């Protein structure tokens, strides 16, 4: 496996493709907006101007696009141009049932499909230390190990096609819940005027500690919400997990509540913020956001 086509060079895809270049693979990148493929070329990869050009003769085809319809759209182009026997690794986070259907289509066309969603965020992608949960045939997974090792650190085969996406849905449930409670803790601590940086430091050393607290705590304190992982994508993922839970006949009451908070943040036009920006809606509920305070001041001025 020496030549890799990489389709979707966004926040996650570009650094992953660069790590594959650094690991010695020939990487041909395609991105809808061409400038990002040029960035890959500047880092030692190649820029393809069409999916067909990227995929032609490639041993491995990697995709990293936002949602199920996007993967469906790029797969059409891949199937038209891929060489028989190539491995298709979909790193995107999509619906488990769609992943299963697309894997069947890809197999029918002679490809070896693996659904391999990732966790670890942009820093994990840049550092090549992502957690990767893989669904598909065990032999295809084993044959692609060098590709996974170039972009990830914790790499686990979790079952047949679609299983990787099921595990990722659980991942997104846990992360959203963590972010929601961290945001509530920040609002709570600020209400008491304690030194929040010290508070988060000590919380981080105990059972309340988490990767979410490590990566998102200071950003919440600084109100620094440049993505990272866009709330619009987490909204998509909460839709995936709530639908899949319903389908399985299990309930996720805390997850459903967080899903509504994420939906509210997106509905207010903040889908482009990092998911730590969930804090904005949690603040509004307590009337502690800057805008809520302004309205309060205006109301008091009006009354006076």
First to last CA, the chain: 74
Nearest to 4 by CA among 49, 48, 39, 36: 48
Q: How far is the CB of 65 from ligand NAP (least distance, A)?
A: 4
Stretch that binds ligand NAP, among 27-35, 152-160, 209-217, 252-260 (CB under 6 A): 27-35
Residue 6 makes contact with ligand NAP by CB under 6 A: no
Nearer to ligand NAP, 225 or 289 (CB): 225
Nearer to ligand NAP, 13 or 113 (CB): 13
Q: How far is the CB of 184 from ligand NAP (least distance, A)?
A: 22
Q: How far is the CB of 98 from ligand NAP (least distance, A)?
A: 12
Residue 226 makes contact with ligand NAP by CB under 6 A: no
Dihedral sign computed on CA atoms, order 83, 87, 91, 93: positive
Q: Is the Cβ–Cβ distance between 52 and 80 less than 8 Å?
A: yes
Binding mask 82-121 for ligand NAP (x = CB under 6 A): ----------xx------------------------xx-x
Q: How far is the CB of 91 from ligand NAP (least distance, A)?
A: 7
Active site residue 100: no
User: Pick the catalytic residue: 36, 100, 112, 168?
Assistant: 168
Q: How far is the CB of 274 from ligand NAP (least distance, A)?
A: 8
- The 3-class SS string of the chain reads CCEEEEECCCCCHHHHHHHHHHCCCEEEEECCCCHHHHHHHHCCCEECCCHHHHHCCCCEEEECCCCHHHHHHHHHHHHHHCCCCCEEEECCCCCHHHHHHHHHHHHHCCCEEEECCEECHHHHHHHCCEEEEEEECHHHHHHCHHHHHHHEEEEEEEECCCHHHHHHHHHHHHHHHHHHHHHHHHHHHHHCCCCHHHHHHHHHCCCCCCHHHHHHHHHHHHCCCCCCCEHHHHHHHHHHHHHHHHHHCCCCHHHHHHHHHHHHHHHHHHCCCEHHHHHHHHHHHHCCCHHHHHHHHHHHHHHC
Which one of 3, 5, 6, 8 is in contact with ligand NAP (CB under 6 A)? 8
Residue 233 makes contact with ligand NAP by CB under 6 A: yes
Nearer to ligand NAP, 122 or 190 (CB): 122
Stretch that binds ligand NAP, among 26-34, 202-210, 218-226, 279-287 (CB under 6 A): 26-34
Instruction: Give dist(CA 259, CA 175) in Å, integer.
Output: 11
Q: How far is the CB of 123 from ligand NAP (least distance, A)?
A: 9
Which one of 38, 101, 122, 146 is in contact with ligand NAP (CB under 6 A)? 122
Residue 239 makes contact with ligand NAP by CB under 6 A: no
> Hey, which residues between 34 and 73 contact ligand NAP (CB under 6 A)?
36, 64-66, 70, 73
> Which residues contact ligand NAP by CB under 6 A?
8-13, 31-33, 36, 64-66, 70, 73-74, 92-93, 118-119, 121-122, 228-229, 233
User: Could you list the active site residues?
Assistant: 168
């Amino acid at each position: 496996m020496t030549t890799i086509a990489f389709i979707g060079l966004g926040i996650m895809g570009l650094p992953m493709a660069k790590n594959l270049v650094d690991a010695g693979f020939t990487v041909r990148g395609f991105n809808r907006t061409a400038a990002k493929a040029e960035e890959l070329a500047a880092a030692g990869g190649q820029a393809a101007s069409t999916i067909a050009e990227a995929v032609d003769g490639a041993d491995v085809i990697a995709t990293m696009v936002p949602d199920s319809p996007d993967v469906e759209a790029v797969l059409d182009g891949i199937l038209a141009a891929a060489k028989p026997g190539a491995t298709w690794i979909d790193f995107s986070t999509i619906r488990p049932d769609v992943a299963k259907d697309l894997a069947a289509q890809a197999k029918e066309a002679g490809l070896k499909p693996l659904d391999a969603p990732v966790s670890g965020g942009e820093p994990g992608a840049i550092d090549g230390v992502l957690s990767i949960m893989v669904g598909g045939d065990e032999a295809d997974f084993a044959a692609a190990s060098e590709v996974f090792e170039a972009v990830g650190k914790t790499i686990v085969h979790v079952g047949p096609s679609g299983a990787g996406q099921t595990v990722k849905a659980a991942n997104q449930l846990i992360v959203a819940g963590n972010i929601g409670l961290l945001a509530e803790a920040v609002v709570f601590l600020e209400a008491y005027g304690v030194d929040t940086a010290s508070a988060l430091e000590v919380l981080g050393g105990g059972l309340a500690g988490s990767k979410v607290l490590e990566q998102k705590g200071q950003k919440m304190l600084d109100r620094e919400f440049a993505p990272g992982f866009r709330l619009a994508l987490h909204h998509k993922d909460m839709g995936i997990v709530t639908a899949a839970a319903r389908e399985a006949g299990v309930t996720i009451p805390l997850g459903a509540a967080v899903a509504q908070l994420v939906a509210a943040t997106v509905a207010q036009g903040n889908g482009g913020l990092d998911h730590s920006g969930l804090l904005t809606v949690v603040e509004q509920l307590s009337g502690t956001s800057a805008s809520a305070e302004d309205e309060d001041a205006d109301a008091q001025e009006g009354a006076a």
